[in-house]
Amino acid sequence: MPSPSHETIRFRPVCGDFAQAAGQTLSSRRQGSRPLLGVLAMTLVLCLPTGTARATGEEDLSAVPFAQLVQREVVSASTLVRQISDSPSAVAIVTAEDIRAYGYRSIADVINGMRGLYITGDRRYAYMGGRGFGAPGDYTGRIMVLIDGYVTQDSLFNQAYIDESGLLDLALVERVEYVPGTGSVTYGNNAMLGIINIVTRKGGSLNALQLSTEAGSHDAYRQRVSYGKRFENGADVVLSASSYDAAGQNLYFPAYDTPATNGGWANGIDGERNKRFFGKFSYEGLVVEAGYVDRQKTVPTKATAYSVFNTPFTIDDANGYLNASYETDIGLYLYSASRFYFGHYAHEGHRVIDDLTTPYAQRKHRAEWWGLDQKFVGKWFANHSILFGMEYRNDFSQYLSRAYFYPDGTIDSASRVRENYARNTTSVYVADEYRFHDRWRLNVGARFDKASDLDGNWSPRVALIFQPDFRTTLKASYSEAFRMPNADDRSFYGTQAMPEYVKAKEFVAQHDLDRRMRLTGTVYEYRRMDQMIDVTGNGDYAAVGNSRSRGLELEFEARWDNGVRLRSSGAWQDARDTTGQDAVNSPNVLGKFQITAPLPGDWLRAGLETQYLGARLTAERRRLGGVALANLTFTNARSWHGVTASFSVRNLFDRDYEVVSPFTWAPGTGIDSLRMDGRTYWVQLNLDL
Amino acid sequence: MMRRLLALLAMWISLAANAQVVSEHDMKAAYLYNFAHLFDWPESSRANFHLCVLGEEDVGAALQRFDERRVDGKRIVIARLSSLAPIRLCDILYVGVGELPSLPKIRSTLGSQPTLVVTDRGNLPAVGVMLGIENSRLVFDVNLEQCERAGLKAKPTLLGFARSVRRAGEAEARPLPASLPGK
């Protein structure tokens, strides 16, 4: 039996005093914000536990007799959603119930509600931005979007598809985690800004054959059928198929308001359609899952320099994948996760161009890849979690092609360009989480990636995590990430195509005020290196550009027992481009406010979301004013005879607003922004059989 | 503004470092450690005592401080599991809420071998000990039928502190009366 101990509770003032001292030193001196992270790191270092701190501070519960333990009051674990990813950054989480409560329809909607992130749409794709990333023309790149561990970006453009061209219907999503900060230490290539981790639902949570129909403004309709079940023996199945069809709108573009270009109206060329399929089977540690999406969109803007306004410009993107993984423990101390994946991407684009002899242009791109990943986590030592593994990825087919066509539809063979690329990458990684004290952890890791066409590269990360008590976590990290030139870069930049790098420093503080409320604060700095820039202004590109961005984000979230949930955040960012000027399409301020509550009578739940997108610069360095938008959603709180419904209004106050256009579509007109939709409506009905 | 924020942050650290309350997962870990002492374990050929945690990282982390302590002269080894594969090696298996759907599988894997299954809430008939929170106290129910099937003998001290004890043949766990009526 444990022996009784003195019930004296003693404090550990060591760290607090130093922290206060550090804070005072800082406030007493005039300092720029640059040494900020250094000081924070110093604060952490000064907080390093000493032998005495350990002896006096920790109450040893093992020495308290059981008779006394059972009398002790405990503080229940937080009701707030816990992160799955073990990452030294401030993870933001959106769950299936948030998705429903706020009427999200795409991953882009989910991302747009997250701290410090924003979406720019150009009626072609939705692009993501944040922390100085997301320059116009950069497809949703330099970010990882994972579905159950599968990296979804295509292997030609490294683009992540987050709109209707994305792989998943949101009804199949259990949660979305945004892990800010670089992730090359874990994922290698391309994880520069952060990781979006999508976890799909289990069949058991669906537990029905679900029929769903949706209707929205501008003649948008979606039908979906999903089936989910968990069987007696533990096997779990999800199957789903859906189809989406939207007629779109007639749109007015002031830049083309001339009689020759239909008075600036693009009529009947805003349609969008997609088809999606998804299946997942899991049994014990085995998960086999596959998804496919084919999206066709007509682009109503004049999306490239040579295309002709108010003519059909169609794009077709297809993405598919197969991911099979097996997780198990080998004995008590070794966890193993093995994974095989296969990916497919195909793009086809048709457009009318400003050329009399060959007025039609076509682009056809296709890529396929597969890979194997074997990861272990060793827990042989009580205070270490040692992660190690290796990955092999083979981008065996990367095909890019473009050609012009004569008016009669025959190809101009001389114009045809066909390029084939390939790459295989071998990577090894290792990381150790060392719990060197009850309240302190040190996470050190590195990943080495060697691609067949590039020199090997190390991506290190070191993080120090301090939990002064179970409600508070402080994390300081330094990491490096990189991005290999993709097939499109290799085609465009030729031999000049080089890897790009980023070095990131981040400090995170998280504090649970009680079990229902949490505050999160983070300060970061990213330094990017070897970005491609046009050295002469004549298309002579070289990887010599450097830039930096830094910022601060604050978030408050709460989940009360009466069903009210609230999340509110503010982000301040200062991002520079390679010339040292304010970066384009990078607002200095971003604000998010979301509240959802059951309405009296408990029949309905309302979800209100407001987003503030601060002033930002267009490609021609014109300033677009900040805009606040509100969305309102009503859902039935409980299923009624298997029926669930929701109704959403987007842009509730019908604000007229513009976003930065990712292309300079009418140079010299002074009009280089894109007008977005006014108020729109959307309803969804689900029937569980 | 940055400077003020920093000072605020520093204060926050110092305040936070001084707080001393017992969290749910620290207490769960302490209970599990005590359970190791509050049962008579059958003779086993293993040199160590295996205390396994499945599906609740916080409890696993809190248990680390009990690593290498001793019970019945054996060294306690903490194992944080990710799957059901090695559960037959466990002397105590703690199953967090997230892993409760796997309980039938756990039962059939363990059969009648001497492993004490402890869950957070869940289904008492299927486990040896079930934890719960009541009036800000961590409480537990004991299922003697399951314990006996596994060849584990609960010490009287344990039963004395249990919220309820379920005995063989009983359909429902009956809470013990708080005090006896009458004189």
- Residue ranges and CATH numbers for the domains of chain B are 24-167 (3.40.50.2300)
Phi, psi of A350 (to 5 degrees): -130, 135
Instruction: Give tens-digit pLDDT for A18-77.
Output: 334 433 443 444 444 444 445 444 444 444 443 333 333 457 788 888 888 888 888 887
- Angstrom distance (rounded) from CA A211 to CA B132: 38
Hey, what amino acid is at B141? D
| pLDDT for residue A43 | 45
| pLDDT for residue A4 | 37
CA A419 to the chain's CA centroid: 31
pLDDT band with cut points at 50, 70 and 90 for residue A429:
very high
The Cα diameter of chain B in Å comes to: 69
What is the mean predicted confidence (pLDDT) over A653-660? 94
Q: Which helix (H) or strand (E) segment is A645 a member of?
A: strand A643-650
Nearest CB to A47; choose among B13, B20, B30: B13
| pLDDT for residue A48 | 42
Residue A5 covered by a domain: no
* Token couple for A138: 């950069």
Residue A86 covered by a domain: no
| pLDDT for residue A76 | 81
- Angstrom distance (rounded) from CA B150 to CA B144: 10
Instruction: State percent of chain A over pLDDT 70.
Output: 90
Q: What residues form DSSP beta bridges with A633? A: A607, A648
* Token couple for A621: 């360095």
Residue A87 covered by a domain: no
Q: Is the pLDDT of residue A277 over 70?
A: yes
pLDDT band with cut points at 50, 70 and 90 for residue B171:
low
| pLDDT for residue A254 | 87
Instruction: Give tens-digit pLDDT for A488-505.
Output: 999 999 999 999 999 999
Q: Which domain holds residue A180?
A: 92-688
List of chain B residues whose C-beta atoms are within 8 Å of the C-beta of residue A230: 101
- Please tell me whether residues A282 and A358 are part of one structural domain: yes
Residue A377 covered by a domain: yes
- Please tell me whether residues A511 and A627 are part of one structural domain: yes
Residue given tokens 């009626």 in the structure block:
A123
Nearest CB to A509; choose among B9, B17, B64: B9
- Please tell me whether residues A249 and A337 are part of one structural domain: yes
List of chain A residues whose C-beta atoms are within 8 Å of the C-beta of residue B84: 284
- Angstrom distance (rounded) from CA A427 to CA A373: 9
Q: Is the pLDDT of residue A395 over 60?
A: yes
Average pLDDT, chain B: 83
Residue A663 covered by a domain: yes
Window 226-285 of A: residues touching B by CB (8 A cutoff) are 230, 234, 284-285
Find, among B91, B96, B94, B107, the residue nearest to B145 by Cα: B107
User: Can you list the pairs that B1-8 forms with residues at least 24 positions away whose Cβ atoms lie under 8 Å?
Assistant: B2/A33, B2/A36, B2/A552, B3/A26, B3/A27, B3/A31, B4/A27, B5/A521, B5/A552, B6/A23, B6/A26, B6/A27, B6/A36, B6/A39, B6/A40, B7/A20, B7/A23, B7/A24, B7/A26, B7/A27, B8/A23
- Angstrom distance (rounded) from CA A650 to CA A667: 31
Global pTM reads 0.86
pLDDT band with cut points at 50, 70 and 90 for residue A633:
very high
Q: What is the dihedral of CA B107, B112, B115, B118, to 10 degrees?
A: 40
Q: Is the pLDDT of residue A638 over 90?
A: no
Residue A4 covered by a domain: no
User: Is residue B117 within 8 Å of residue B2, measured between CB atoms?
Assistant: no
Is residue A326 helix, strand or coil? Answer: strand
Q: Does A64 touch chain B (CB under 8 A)?
A: yes
- Please tell me whether residues A44 and A177 are part of one structural domain: no
Q: Say if residue A385 is exposed, middle or buried (CB neighbours under 10 Å; 0-12, 13-18, 19+).
A: buried
CA A317 to the chain's CA centroid: 20
Q: Total structural domains in chain A?
A: 2
Instruction: Give tens-digit pLDDT for A305-351.
Output: 888 999 999 999 999 999 999 999 999 999 999 999 999 999 999 99
Side-chain half-sphere CA neighbours of A525 within 13 A: 12
- What CATH number should be reported for the domain holding residue A281? 2.40.170.20
pLDDT band with cut points at 50, 70 and 90 for residue B73:
confident
Neighbours of A471 (CB within 10 A): 19
- DSSP conformation letters of A405-442: E-TTS-EEEEEEEEEEEEEEEEEEEEEEEEEEETTEEE
Q: Is the pLDDT of residue B120 over 80?
A: yes
Find, among A466, A611, A613, A507, the residue nearest to A181 by Cα: A507
What is the mean predicted confidence (pLDDT) over A192-216? 94
| Residue B126 vs residue B179, higher pLDDT | B126
pLDDT band with cut points at 50, 70 and 90 for residue A133:
confident
Hey, what amino acid is at A448? F
- Please tell me whether residues A158 and A278 are part of one structural domain: yes
- Please tell me whether residues A537 and A407 are part of one structural domain: yes
- Please tell me whether residues A520 and A425 are part of one structural domain: yes
**Rg of the Cα atoms in chain B:** 19
Q: Is the pLDDT of residue A568 over 60?
A: yes
User: Is residue B6 within 8 Å of residue A39, measured between CB atoms?
Assistant: yes
What is the mean predicted confidence (pLDDT) over B83-109? 91
- Angstrom distance (rounded) from CA A93 to CA A142: 20
* Token couple for B62: 């809190």
- Please tell me whether residues A193 and A46 are part of one structural domain: no
| pLDDT for residue A40 | 47
Asked whether the beta carbons of residue A16 and residue B80 sit closer than 8 angstroms, the reply is: no
Give B87 to chain A, closest Cα distance, Å. 8
Q: Does A91 touch chain B (CB under 8 A)?
A: no
Residue A317 covered by a domain: yes
Residue A84 covered by a domain: no
Instruction: Give tens-digit pLDDT for B5-55.
Output: 666 665 555 554 444 578 888 999 999 999 999 999 988 888 899 999 998
Give A689 to chain B, closest Cα distance, Å. 23
- Angstrom distance (rounded) from CA B78 to CA B97: 19
Nearest CB to A77; choose among B13, B25, B102: B25
- Please tell me whether residues A65 and A142 are part of one structural domain: no
- Please tell me whether residues A200 and A319 are part of one structural domain: yes
Nearest CB to A23; choose among B6, B16, B24: B6
Phi, psi of A11 (to 5 degrees): -100, 165
Classify residue A668 as left (phi > 0), alpha (psi -120 to 50) or beta.
Answer: left
Listed range (A5-19, A414-428, A452-466) with the worst mean pLDDT: A5-19
Side-chain half-sphere CA neighbours of A540 within 13 A: 4
Give A227 to chain B, closest Cα distance, Å. 19
Q: Does A47 touch chain B (CB under 8 A)?
A: yes
- Angstrom distance (rounded) from CA A43 to CA B5: 14
| pLDDT for residue B170 | 65
Asked whether the beta carbons of residue A332 and residue B86 sit closer than 8 angstroms, the reply is: yes
- Please tell me whether residues A238 and A120 are part of one structural domain: yes
pLDDT band with cut points at 50, 70 and 90 for residue A2:
very low
- Please tell me whether residues A225 and A123 are part of one structural domain: yes
| Residue A156 vs residue B180, higher pLDDT | A156
Give B97 to chain A, closest Cα distance, Å. 12
Of A69, A103, A133, the one marking the end of a domain is: A69
Neighbours of A472 (CB within 10 A): 20
Average pLDDT, chain A: 88
| pLDDT for residue B1 | 57
